[in-house]
Amino acid sequence: MPAQSPETVTAALQTYFRPNHAAAYLDIGRSTLYRLMSTDPAFPRPIKLGRSTLLRREELDAYVLRMRREG
């Protein structure tokens, strides 16, 4: 397997957020983020990677657009 360049690795990591960064990205509090994750079926499902929880930026963006369209 060829080694990935640092730019490729950085770009891949920027497409995922940990909950603290996802909350900041969405401009909401961390508790609000966790509430959305547990109660809103339309909210993107987090990815568990070992003990880490990650959220995809693309899915967060799509969720925000969908919520804006719905009013």
pLDDT tens digit sequence for 11-65 = 655 699 999 999 999 999 999 999 999 999 999 999 999 999 999 999 999 999 9
- At 48, which helix (H) or strand (E)? strand 47-49
Tokens of 4: 């990935």
Question: Residue 66: pLDDT band by 50, 70, 90 thresholds?
Answer: very high
Model confidence, pTM: 0.78
Res 64: pLDDT: 97
Contact 42, 66 (CB under 8 A): yes
Res 6: pLDDT: 65
Res 71: pLDDT: 77
26 CB burial (10 A radius; 0-12, 13-18, 19+) = middle
56 CB burial (10 A radius; 0-12, 13-18, 19+) = middle
